[in-house]
Amino acid sequence: MLRRRLNRWLGGEERRVDSRTIYVGSRSANEAFIPPKFCDNRIVSSKYTVWNFLPKNLFEQFRRIANFYFLIIFLVQVIVDTPTSPVTSGLPLFFVITVTAIKQGYEDWLRHKADNEVNKYPVTVLEGGRRIRKESEKIKVGDVVEVEEDETFPCDLVLLQSSKEDGTCFVTTASLDGESNHKTHYTVPDIDEDLESLSATVECEQPQPDLYKFVGRMHIDKIQDPTVRSLGPENLLLKGATLKNTQKICGVAVYTGMETKMALNYQGKSQKRSAVEKSINAFLLVYLCILVSKALVCTTLKYVWQSNPGQDEPWYNEKTQKEKDTNFYLKMFTDFLSFMVLFNFIIPVSMYVTVEMQKFLGSYFITWDKDFFDPEIKEGALVNTSDLNEELGQVEYVFTDKTGTLTQNNMEFVECCIDGFQYKYRDANSDLDGICTTDGPVNKVRQKAVEEREELFLRALCLCHTVQVKEPTEQGHSQREEDMVDGLGVDGHLVHPVQEQRGFIASSPDEVALVKGAMRYGFTFMGLESKTMKILNRNNDVETYDLLHVLHFDPVRRRMSVIVRSKSGDILLFCKGADSSIFPRVRPEEVEKIRMHVERNATEGYRTLCVAYKLLSAEEYAQADAGLREARLVLQDREERLMAVYNQVETGMSLIGATAVEDRLQEEAAETMEALQGAGMKVWVLTGDKMETAKSTCYACRLFQKNTELLELTVRTLENGERRREERLYELLREYHKKAVQDAPPNKAGITRSWSSAGQDFGFIIDGATLSMVLNSSSESTSSHYKNLFLQICQNCTSVLCCRMAPLQKAQIVKMVKNSKGCPITLSIGDGANDVSMILEAHVGIGIKGKEGRQAVRNSDYAIPKLKHLKKLLLAHGHLYYVRISHLVQYFFYKNLCFILPQFLYQFFCGYSQQPLYDAAYLTMYNICFTSMPILAYSLLEQHISIEELLDNAALYREIAKNAMLRWGPFLCWTLLGVFHGLLFFFGVRCLFSNPALQDNGQVFGNWSYGTIVFTILVFTVTLKLALDTRHWTWINHFVIWGSLAFYVFFSFFWGGIIWPFLRQQRLYFVFANMLSSVSAWLVIILLILLSLLPEILLVVFRKPRGPHTRQKTPVQTVGRNQSSARPLLMRTFSDESNTVI
């Protein structure tokens, strides 16, 4: 602490923390140079190493209450002389630990393998004028790296040189921020072509996760004229981005390895635990309390009973001298431990084995499901973590990415409106000029805008953009295929053959869609060369325009403009933007003609833009030009100065028309979102995209409805007021809180839409900058208050849209909801590396096998080919997995309580001598062999509702929400049932033994016969109870249920029918066969089994069947049986199982 303060006072820390200095190129020999230390370029996502795997994995496993408990019991059995063998506890524990360690070790080995692929990737580094091939992990900060087209940048680079003459390069950042559009980056000016002689120093900020921020400067050491150049995000190439349409570039490494922006946005993979596991731990504590209580009661009563004269040391069982010398309290403690071991079987050790097997084997049903197979990529679903199967049935919040997840990121020009007349594109050219009208006034056959206005509108589409033309290569066919994959292909039958294979590159896909739309109507953008834009018009004449200025798009203005000079010398400003941004800046009389079309297109889910123009006089242009040049040279408040000039020049425009562009959704995206909301889940869209784009997508996906009132909390709404931003933020939060929370009617459970209640639907929109203000306010108390208000507003909205999100912000949102009141179960779904953080943060992470790399898939818990598969994954698989494992857990606790309660009651009749009621073989094999397979088969194959019904009726998902089947109510019912059965077994058999002669020869049964009869009733009752619970029978269920009972009978005959030489005493010799020779024993066994199951039988008989829970009709059952019985179960899909009834 003292050293840190001294450094701060002396200025040392400021230099070290706030910036880093990087030396590029050769340095003179007489110059003292100590290279600063930076991290290497290795990426590490794995959890274990060879050296720490065993201790770390064992530590994690013994953090589980059950594993730690069984370890203690095993040690007690080894140390203390107990009634049962240590093998009974040690063997199952060893099996569980080993299986889990192998599984987790394999998963981590796959992560090591993925890391090695990245770290060993060959790259080219320039050293001493030579091109040297190195492994990616060996790159150091300050190295000059060469990257070729379609290669991924191995670290964060500052762009020094490009093969393009204008010093630019194009990159796609799909794996970082989800945008697959091409972005333009620029070289640092004044860099010599010969990088060997370059000597420079880069000063830049320390690594930080914001993808869109980078501040630095570069000192270029030249003999004549040393220069300093500023560095910004336009000069930084990020690790994970891909070089496009540029042959090669050279850049200097500034951030490497785990300090790159991509790595800083990566959340470490932590151990995820399901809600079911937490419930198991809670139930386990209850049963531990029962166990300790039983041991305490028996220990106390033993010494109370022995305090009577003659009871402690009867004449036939005198104590040895060693027993007499033993300390009284030590003996009492030893007796307590012995009782603990005797009743230890109330804790179901084998349940953990069965749960692990159920999760592991059950995950294969997702992999085998044919409905998840995608013929395009020829792949199906993938399960990376089987520990969370049941969590799929408990999801309350779904966080989804937009680009590549909800949408295909494939824009298509649909229609336009010019001077109030609608022009809709048709496949056939109905007009010679390529434009046709479809909904002009009804009483007129044909009505169009004036031709001059049409051409002016199309010129505006061809000029007002930042699109660049990608020239065709020699391999025309393959190039066309590539363009089509990028979503940038051109429809060949509408343009000239010369242009057929021309592709477009832009930072926004809708700009490409508008340029292609103009091509359909006869105006083709030819490209930009040396600030000259070329257009091919309808008459096949080339028009040229000098590009004077580009007024770039920003989210506050929500428009962009270009200023061009025509051949005739006219200076024109073309502007396009959102209607709310354009309408106030044009003549009011022009607005009404266009507004109707814009509103209609918006309600149909299309992205709309308005187009305007202005003819600038020489004085107006001179003033604007001077203002723009001056503002661009300013270092302080540059954006504000530019904004003032933009707003000044973009006034008094003339409105020409509007466009409608469709962003194609993923297949069945709207139906999937609607089903998830119908199931009671709240859907949040977290995207790095612009607000307008994302809002349009939400409408198209039916997340926002026509009657949804949108509450917007963005930079634009904060700028509207005259107050400071933070004051305006608090004002809006209070206003929205009053509207959405305080004034809203109380919401019924599970209701998500206003058609189910009298309230208004609200949708909430927030952007990344405003979210930072909410989460990172100036004071901690204010930040906490803002966060609470924000969270309450969001939780009362049907859908939430978060736009312009950095990857780490996505994870922060998920974490905030995950840790909110009630700890709701969250699910994140995405397809790019920018989604990895939120996928890892959520309880369940889903990766989509899209076009944006496989980072999301590798880091997810489950991977599916398409968004539409999420519906079945949650509503069918998730629902069934949860019901199955819930039944498995409750059933295990129930059957072990039935098992050990008679043992406890028996102590009251044997002088608390720790005498076992059951033989050691029965104690060991009860959970392992006699009752384990039926519940395992049930937990894998049971379908209480058919899959078709689950998919058709999404509301069924709500019935199991919030861990409904593992709450304390159902747990208490199962426990009481176990107590009832245990009491019935013990005292029912005791009534039988009140008859002194149960055999033909007049002999009486002994204590082992007593225990064997109780155990026989127990095994048959708990197995038949499960048979009554089974509603979906397959041949496997029949085999394991009746097979387990048959195995028990066979084993009892076999175990008691042979004299085993390795046993010191054979307690069950001929006991089972002798027991079955008694008619009374037969009668009691049958009678007690029927009495035990009577409540269950009556429930099955008199229960009214509900529609969705009834079995399928007989014809469907027959077809399903015929289909599936022809091949083995392992070859069947999960879908087939829903129709299989035997």
Burial 983-1008 (b: 16+ CB within 10 A, else e): ebbbebbeebbeeeebbeeeeebeeb
Q: Is 401 in the active site?
A: yes
Sign of the CA dihedral running 951, 957, 963, 969: negative
Torsion of CA 877, 882, 887, 888, to 10 degrees: 80
> Half-sphere exposure (CA, 13 Å, Cβ side) for 284?
19
Nearest CA to 18 out of 162, 207, 178, 158 is that of 207
User: In sequence order, which residues have a C-beta less than 8 Å from that of residue 617 and are 6 or more positions away?
Assistant: 571
Question: Rounded to an integer, what distance in angstroms lies between the CA atom of residue 119 and that of residue 122?
Answer: 9
β-pair type (762-767, 799-803): parallel
SS3 494: helix
Structure tokens at 57: 């994995």
Backbone angles phi, psi at 1089, to 5 degrees: -65, -45
SS3 847: strand
Name 382's bridge partners. 863
User: In sequence order, which residues have a C-beta less than 8 Å from that of residue 443 and are 6 or more positions away?
Assistant: none
Q: How far is CA 449 from CA 63, 407, 440, 812, 1032, in A?
A: 75, 34, 10, 51, 67
User: In sequence order, which residues have a C-beta less than 8 Å from that of residue 993 and are 6 or more positions away?
Assistant: 1005, 1010
Structure tokens at 542: 């080339």
- Among 156, 177, 387, 401, the one annotated catalytic: 401
Reading across the β-sheet that carries 242-244, which strands appear in turn? 182-186, 168-172, 242-244
Burial 663-700 (b: 16+ CB within 10 A, else e): bebbebbbebbbbbbbbbbbbbbbbbbbbbbbbbbbbb
Neighbours of 196 (CB within 10 A): 13
Nearest CA to 598 out of 608, 590, 589 is that of 608
Burial 454-490 (b: 16+ CB within 10 A, else e): bbbbbbbbbbbbbbbbbebeeeeeebbebbeebbbbb
Nearest CA to 513 out of 420, 451, 606, 599 is that of 606
SS3 of 1015-1070: the string is: HHHHHHHHHHHHHHHCCCCCHHHHHHHHHHHHHHHHHHHHHHHCCCCCCCCCCCCC
Q: How far is CA 293 from CA 297, 872, 882, 974, in A?
A: 6, 46, 32, 19
Q: Decide if 611 contacts 656 (C-beta within 8 A).
A: yes
CB-count burial class (<10 Å; 0-12, 13-18, 19+) for 1130: exposed
Computed on alpha carbons and rounded to an integer, the radius of gyration of the chain in Å comes to 37
Structure tokens at 868: 């539409």
Q: Decide if 762 contacts 739 (C-beta within 8 A).
A: yes
Question: Rounded to an integer, what distance in angstroms lies between the CA atom of residue 447 and that of residue 420?
Answer: 11
Q: Which residues are catalytic?
A: 401
